[in-house]
Amino acid sequence: MDETLANIAGFLGMACIIFAYAYATKLENPNPFVQHGVNLAGAGLLTISLLYNLNPASLALEFFWAAIAIWGLAKAFRARNTKS
């Protein structure tokens, strides 16, 4: 992967995370699959960028951001299965 593609992945990841935050802030009852799924995608894309342009602190942040998104998705799946 070259630097341009890594930067594009990083900007797309940033856009995903900003969208998810705005989405969760705007709606009274946001869909957790959208919120956490887009956050997870954003963390993944930013991780791709950070693996090319190494920044250990930001890489650690994306690890935790992804872990929290996975946790949120797991809670959403459990809640959906409980309602069924």
The answer to whether 1 and 45 have CB atoms below 8 angstroms apart is: no
Tell how many helices (H) and how many strands (E) occur in the chain: 3, 0
Cα–Cα distance for residue pair 65/27, rounded to 1 Å = 21
The answer to whether 35 and 20 have CB atoms below 8 angstroms apart is: yes
Q: What SS3 class is residue 12?
A: helix
The answer to whether 50 and 20 have CB atoms below 8 angstroms apart is: no
State pLDDT tens for residues 5-60: 999 999 999 999 999 999 999 999 999 999 999 999 999 999 999 999 999 999 99
This prediction has a pTM of 0.91
